Amino acid sequence: MMQKPPPEDFLLKETNPHLGGGKVTGDKLASTYDLVEQMYYLYVRVVKAKDLPAKDVTGSCDPYVEVKLGNYKGTTRHFEKKSNPEWSQVFAFSKDRIQASVLEVTVKDKDSLKDDFIGRVLFDLNEVPRRVPPDSPLAPQWYRLDDKKGERAKGELMLAVWMGTQADEAFPEAWNSDAATVSGADGLANMRSKVYLSPKLWYLRVNIIEAQDLQPSDKGRYPEVFVKAILGNQALRTRISQSRTINPMWNEDLMFVAAEPFEEPLILSVEDRVAPNKDEVLGRCAIPLQYIDRRLDHRPVNTRWFNLEKHVVVVEGEKKKEIKFSSRIHMRICLEGGYHVLDESTHYSSDLRPTAKQLWKNNIGVLELGILNAQGLMPMKTKDGRGTTDAYCVAKYGQKWIRTRTIIDSFIPRWNEQYTWEVFDPCTVITIGVFDNCHLHGGDKAGGSKDARIGKVRIRLSTLETDRVYTHSYPLLVLHPNGVKKMGEIHLAVRFTCSSLLNMLHMYSHPLLPKMHYIHPLTVSQLDSLRHQATQIVSMRLTRAEPPLRKEVVEYMLDVGSHMWSMRRSKANFFRIMGVFSGLIAVGKWFDQICHWRNPITTVLIHILFIILVMYPELILPTIFLYLFLIGVWHYRWRPRHPPHMDTRLSHADSAHPDELNEEFDTFPTSSPPDVVRMRYDRLRSIAGRIQTVVGDLATQGERLQSLLSWRDPRASALFVLFCLVSAIVLYVTPFQVVAFLSGIYVLRHPRFRYKLPSVPLNFFRRLPARTDCML
C-alpha cells in the first residue's frame, strides 16, 4: 500500500554545523566537547573582598558587587555589616552580545535609599586571557579598588576574568547574561541546566497466605474476610476468602511499585465485610520496607508471621477496659530485583535492565548527544503585548534525565550543550523534548501555570551506525485538536560509540526483558497498573528536585495517556497491519498471474524451477535463503542513511477528522456535551459492528475445520474420513516427488483447463456446519 510522502516541511533535514570548533579527525571529532558549536563567554569570578571602608557609625558596611558590561549588569548577594565578605560567584557574558570594550566591576554598599559607591576595578577586554578546558582554572588575584576619578580607594577585591567557552566547568552554575531579565533566586534556578536521576524502582510482591485467630465482633455469622494493602497512593485488596472462618486462607499475590529511599511503610489491614457498604477492621500491621528480603531470582523467600493489632474498648460499669487481641497473618513479602520496573512503553523504552545492580551486564557503548539549537519556534505565551518563548530541552535515556538551560525570549535559541549516557542495550530509544518555561516571572504565583510542550523527538539507537556523527534538524510536530502543527525544528548531533562489536551483536540473542519477566510473567493488567504507579512515583520524585522537573514534563516524556482510545491511532495501526501483509498480498497476486498464464515466459520458467526443486528437494531451503540473502544485499544500496522521525502520514495525523482529534483530546471521563457523546458512541458502535462481523467470520471458518471430525454433519464427516483413508493408501504407495509434481502441475495448469466455478474442496468446506446456528 503506497502512501504519499509527508510534506517537505515535516521531513528530516541533514545539516553540516561547525562542531567542536572544526577539530575533525576523519569521521570522529577530536575534542571533549565535540558535538556542539563553540560559544564564547566572558567569565568573571568574584571571590571575596577585604578591608572595605565603613560607611556608618557602626564601623561596617553592607557590601555587594555589581558586574557591568555595556547594557548587561549582574549583582551578587549583599552581606550585612561585613567588611570582609566572600561571594564565590561567577558571571558569564555571551561574546555575541558584548557591546563594550571595558568591563566594570564595582563594589557598592547596600542602602535603603541609594546604594553608596565604594570602589571599582576596570578591565580592558582586549587584555583578557583565553582559557579552554582541559586547562586548569584561572587563579583569582587581588585587585585594588579605585574611586570614580581613577585614584586608589580603600579596599581590595579578589577576581578572576577570562574568556572561555560553554565547556568551562564554571558555566552551569554561572549567572548568565541571557538571564538579565529574570529576577529572584527561584527564577534563576529554574533556568539553569541540570542532570536528574530517576529513583530506583522495585516491584514489591506481597503473597498473602492466611490469617489466624481473627476476632469478628459478630460471633453468630460467617465472616467475609479480605486483606487490604496500602503503600503510599497505591491500594490493593484480595478477594473475599472462601473459607469463611476465623482462620481464612487466600494465597494471593499483590504487586506494588516502591522507590528508594523507602519513605512509607506497607500497611496491611484484615477486614470483614459486615454489610454491603460497611467493613470492620479485624487487625492492622505496618511493615517498613527497609527490612524486607530482596529476591534476585525465582527462588521463593521464607514466609513470616506478622502480628495484627486491634484495640477494643469494653465498658464494664463505669470503667473502660482496653483489650488487645493478638491475631496473626502469614505472608511472603519480597522486593523483586530480577524484574525491570516499566515506567515507559516497551515499544520505545530507554532502559531494560533489572532493578538489582548485581544482575547488570557491562555496558556495550556510549551515547553522546549534542543539543545545538532550535529554529522557527512558535510563540507560546504573551508578554508585554507580544508573543514570546522561553525554551529549554529535556532528554531522557535510562535513569538519567538532563535539562538544558532556558534561553529567554528567543524563537531561535542556541543551547550547544553536550551530554553522555552509558548504553547497555542497542534496542533502546532516547527521547528529547522541547518545552516553554512558564516559571521565570512569577509563574508559580499566577495560579500554577504549566510548562507548555513544544515538541518531541525519539531516536532508536539500533538504527544508528556506530562511531558516526549524525547532525540533523528534526521537525517538532505536535497534534492539536485542530490538526497537526509544526512548532519549529530542533538541531541535534548524535553519536553512538560501541566499545565491543561482538558484545553488541551478542545482545541480539538475549531476551529483551530480564528473565524473571518470562519465568514468572506479570499479566497485562498488572503491567498497565504498575506502569501507571511507576510514572506517578517518578514524576513526584523529580518534582521535588531543585529546580523541579515538573510533572507535566515528565508525563509528556514518558507518554502517559498513550493507551487511551483514539480513532486516529486505530486507523494508523490498521494500515500498519495492512502494510505488513502487503508483501504477502503482492506475492499472492503474482502467483495468481502465474497460474493464469498472464506472462507465458515467466510461467514456463516457474514450471522449470518447480520441476528442478521437485527432482532435487534438498535445494529448496538453500534456494530460499540464497534468495533472501540476495534481496538483502540488493537493498543495502538503498539503506536508510538518516535516523527515523515522526511520520505524519503513518500516524494519520494530517488526514484525521476534526471530531476524531477532538475525541482524542477529550478528558477521561468525558467532558463533551451529550449530543457529541451520543454521536461518537453511535460511530463506535458501527465500527465495532464491522469488527464483530469479521471476528465472527473467522470463528466460523475455524469451527468448520473442527467439524470435519466432530460428526456434527455425519455425511460430511464420513466423506472426509473416507477421503483420509484413500489419501493415506495413495500417498503410501506413491513416491512423494510424484505427488508433489502432479499437485504443482495441477495448480499451475493452463486457464483452458480451469473452471470459473469454485473448486470441489472449497465447495465441500463451505458446506460444513458452524456454531452460528446456536447464536442468539
Q: Tens digits of per-residue pLDDT, 56-108? A: 656 678 889 999 998 888 888 888 877 788 999 999 998 888 888 899 999 98
Question: What phi and psi, each to the nearest 5 degrees, are found at residue 294?
Answer: -115, 125
Total residue length of the chain = 776
- State the Cα torsion 742-748-750-754 to the nearest 10°: 80
Report which DSSP code applies to 597: T
pLDDT digits 0-9 by tens, 415-428: 999 999 999 999 99
Measure Cα distances from 260 to 74, 257, 296, 345, 653 in Å. Answer: 40, 10, 17, 22, 40
pLDDT at 318: 52
Residue type present at position 213: D
What pairs with residue 123 in β-bridges?
103
Residue type present at position 554: V
Place of cell 451529550: 674
Residue 4: pLDDT band with limits 50, 70, 90: low
Considering only CA atoms, which of 242, 284, 246, 293 is closest in space to residue 266? 284
**How far is Cα 227 from Cα 121, in angstroms, rounded to an integer?**
73
Residue 412: pLDDT band with limits 50, 70, 90: very high
What's the mean per-residue pLDDT of the chain?
86
pLDDT at 22: 55
CB 109 within 8 Å of CB 54: no
Report which DSSP code applies to 2: -
**How far is Cα 384 from Cα 181, in angstroms, rounded to an integer?**
13
CB 434 within 8 Å of CB 454: yes
Considering only CA atoms, which of 40, 38, 42, 39 is closest in space to residue 160? 42
Considering only CA atoms, which of 381, 376, 374 is closest in space to residue 441? 381
- Bond from prior residue into 514 cis (ω within 30 degrees of 0): no
H/E stretch holding 353? none
pTM of the model: 0.84
Measure Cα distances from 70 to 74, 95, 163, 225, 410 in Å. Answer: 11, 12, 16, 76, 20
Pairing assessment for the beta strands 249-259 and 266-275 based on DSSP bridges = unpaired
Considering only CA atoms, which of 295, 305, 340, 350 is closest in space to residue 326? 305
pLDDT at 221: 82
736-747 helix and 600-615 helix, angle to the nearest 10 degrees: 170
Classify 392 as helix, strand or coil: strand
Report which DSSP code applies to 5: P
**What's the burial of 362, exposed, middle or buried (CB within 10 Å: 0-12/13-18/19+)?**
exposed
Residue 121: pLDDT band with limits 50, 70, 90: very high
Q: How far apart are the first and last CA of the chain?
A: 38
pLDDT digits 0-9 by tens, 613-655: 888 888 888 988 999 999 999 999 888 888 888 888 888 888 8
Residue type present at position 226: F
CB 237 within 8 Å of CB 228: yes
**What's the burial of 314, exposed, middle or buried (CB within 10 Å: 0-12/13-18/19+)?**
exposed
pLDDT digits 0-9 by tens, 353-373: 999 999 999 999 999 999 999
DSSP secondary structure letters along 480-499: ETTEEEEEEEEEEEEEEEES
Considering only CA atoms, which of 440, 447, 459 is closest in space to residue 380? 440
**How far is Cα 613 from Cα 626, in angstroms, rounded to an integer?**
14
**How far is Cα 351 from Cα 340, in angstroms, rounded to an integer?**
8
pLDDT at 30: 42
pLDDT digits 0-9 by tens, 286-328: 999 998 999 999 898 999 999 888 754 444 555 555 555 678 9
H/E stretch holding 206? strand 201-212
- ∠ CA 616-728-761, nearest 5°, is 90
pLDDT at 180: 66
Classify 90 as helix, strand or coil: strand
Sign of the CA dihedral with 324 first, then 326, 327, and 329 last: positive
Largest CA distance in the chain: 123
Residue type present at position 615: M
Classify 664 as helix, strand or coil: helix
Q: What is the mean pLDDT of residues 558-577?
A: 84
pLDDT at 186: 66
**How far is Cα 73 from Cα 175, in angstroms, rounded to an integer?**
10
pLDDT digits 0-9 by tens, 473-501: 999 998 888 888 899 999 999 999 998 88
